[in-house]
Every structure is written in C-alpha cells, then in structure tokens.
Structure 1
Amino acid sequence: MNDTELADALLSAIEDHILPLTRKGVAAGNKIFGAAVLRKSDGSVALAETNNETENPLWHGEVHLLKTYHEKDGLPPPEDLIFLSTHEPCSMCLSAITWAGFDNFFDFFTHEDSRDSFAIPHDLKILKEVFTLEPGGYRRDNAYWSARSVAEVIAGAEPAQQDKLRARAKAIREEYDKLSAAYQDSKAGNAIPLS
C-alpha cells in the first residue's frame, strides 16, 4: 500500500472499528485508548479492541488487543499485520507489541496529546521516572519495529488527497475530545490505578 491507501485504511480502522468499541468502553468507565491490527496485504481490519482497565488494569487498548488476538484462531501472523494504536503506546504496550512479534506500529495521538489534551500524563511520567527518557526519547526505528504516526502517513499521501484525509483526522480528534470529557467526568472513585 502507498501512503494514501495506508492513511485511508488507518483512519477507517479508527472510525469504523476502534471508536465504536471505545464509546462502549468509556461508558463502562475505561480510558479512551484503543488498537487494531490490519492486514498488510489490503489494509482490512483483522481485529480491534479498546481499553478494558475496569476488568484488569493491564488491559490497555494495545495489551487487550494482543490478549484477544492470541485467544482467536485463524488470524494472520504478526509479520503480516499492521499494528495501529490510537495513542502512542506506553512503555508496557511498547514492550508487549515487541514481545508479540510485530515489526511495526502506527499511532494517531502522541504521548504529549495524552498528557495535554486528555489529562492522562502517566506515559511520559513513567518514561521519565523509570527510563530517564524525555518525551520522544525512545527510538521509533529499532531492531524490533518501526513506528510512524498517522499524521506522518497523511503527510506522505498524494497531495490531492491530503485535505480530505486531514478533515477525517480532525473529526476523529473531535470525537476523542468528547470521549475524553466523558471519561474525565466519570473517573472519580474508580478503582483503576493511575486513572
């Protein structure tokens, strides 16, 4: 797939698969993070999940997806899949993606977005306190995987398609703003560590 096709597939995965699950998850008291795996061959979604921390604090969107992925039969192997995370993965999720054998991941929102726009600063705090890394301090290209933001993919799309793709990304951001407000309003008193 070229970047135009890839951007369309990544945005469609969020719009049509992750967001519907995340709406339900936030209504149940979970954070706004979700993930999906897409087939490299055609960009179709093989599986999507969302955060399920009310069941288990380890079920971040990415880890919950990996749990479900390994419980299902007949899914393509990691090397045939694109890993999409709505938010730049935390250190636990980065490790889980690595241990699960994925050679890539794409993220829609950055760690800074999680901290500044969504009032969930834990990813950057953990990277700083545990690993002494400044924001962006880990290697997005390394021996295990290569990472790109959806914004980078959109910037690499055909110029004639970029405005349309950016408009879709803006609509996704607006939907996540609403979900974040709902989560923030409901989180008081929940049992999720680092809520």
Structure 2
Amino acid sequence: MADVSLIDRLLDVIEHDIVPKTAEGVAHGNKLFGAAILRKEDHSLVLAETNNETENPLWHGEVHCLKRFYEMPKAERVDTRDAIFLATHEPCSLCLSAITWTGFDNFYYLFSHEDSRDSFAIPHDLKILKEVFTLDPGGYNAENDYWKSFSIRKLVWSLPETERVRLETRIGKISARYDELSSAYQTSKADNGIPLS
C-alpha cells in the first residue's frame, strides 16, 4: 500500500514550495512545470524550483531544479541515491534523461503527459516521444535499471476510500490552482520567446 504520509508531504511541497515559485515564473512568461528534491530519511526539502525557459529553453522545471541543486555547496547537497525527486508533471524526454544522468533512483509526479497535453495545452512531451523516439504515450519504461517512477494519482487510487477521497480532494484544489496558472501562461505565451511554447 502507498505511504500516505509521503503522499501528503509531496503534495505539501507542491502546494507550498513549488507553486509560489511557479506563479512567479509564469508571471515572467515561463511554463508551469516545477520540481523539488527531498531527503528520503525525513522527507525534508532540499530544494524546490520551477521552469525558467525564458532564460534558457533547456531550463525545464526538473532540469532547472537540478541546475540549482548542483550550484549548491557540495556539503549542503544530499547524495541523489538518498533523495526523492518530485516533478509536478510527468518528466519529458529531456528531464527523464537529466534525472537518470544525475543518479536518482526514483521520481514522483502529479500530472501525466496526457494532462500536460489535454489540460494544460502543452503537447510537446508526447509529440517528441512519438516523433523522435517513436514511443506512444506511456511507452517509456517506468521501472528500469536506473529508477522507478511513481504517479502520485495512481498511488492515491490504490488507497482505502477514506484516504483516497481526502487526497483526491487535495489534488483537486492543487489542480484548480494549476488551471489558473495554465490560463495565465496560455494568455502570455506568444510573447515569451520560448521555441516550443
């Protein structure tokens, strides 16, 4: 069974640490993807970040988080094998590679590639997987020699009804906030200069 306390903590980090940074990023023309790194031992936050593609198209939420992580003094960084990687949205091929190359053995995400395409009108993840790698949605190996990935929503679906309903309500509130951020991004994206906006 899924660890309810971990799910609550991951949602806390999205809601209280990533979303405020993302709101600021969207106000500057960036997409709404964010990420965080937590310690496995106590689920404390190491770092939270958001998309910064207006500075560099490679600074997706996950990659920008990793950039900032490696800018920290080495003594303040946790070993990636002792860390949880959290992405607000299922990582794209660029971010999947970055998570792999940096040695994380796991990642969790809230919104799927299909959500990015359908709810947030950002279809690039699935289109790149299909056009470049000839993979259908969900076609990458979600558990492999490098890492295991976890959909927070799927974990919630596996819980007993009381916890499932409570957490789905929480996710619904977070999703509503992301809908607002998506609307703001879509309204301003023509002016942001991001190649794949």
Q: CA RMSD in A?
A: 1.3
Question: TM-score when scaled to structure 1?
Answer: 0.96
**Alignment partner, residue 3 of structure 1:** 3
- Identity, % of aligned positions: 61
Matched residues, number: 195
Preserved CA contact (<8 Å) 1:3 1:154 = no
Question: TM-score when scaled to structure 2?
Answer: 0.95
**Alignment partner, residue 30 of structure 1:** 30
**Alignment partner, residue 97 of structure 2:** 95
**Alignment partner, residue 16 of structure 2:** 16
Partner deviation per Cα, 1:62-98 (whole Å, 9 max, x = no partner):
0000000001021211011110100110000000000
Unpaired runs of 5+ residues, structure 1, are: none
2:117 aligns with one of 115, 118, 125: 115
Matching of residues 43-58 of structure 1 within 5 Å = 43-58=43-58
**Alignment partner, residue 141 of structure 1:** 143
Unpaired runs of 5+ residues, structure 2, are: none
Partner deviation per Cα, 1:2-21 (whole Å, 9 max, x = no partner):
61011111100101100000
**Matched residue type, 2:170:** R
Q: Partner of 1:187: helix, strand, or coil?
A: helix
Q: CA deviation at 1:43?
A: 1.6
Q: Distance in 2 between matches of 1:169 and 1:67?
A: 28
Question: 4+ runs of 1 displaced by more than 4 Å?
Answer: none
Q: CA deviation at 1:156?
A: 3.8
**Alignment partner, residue 132 of structure 1:** 134
Q: Distance in 2 between matches of 1:25 and 1:107?
A: 19
**Matched residue type, 1:86:** T
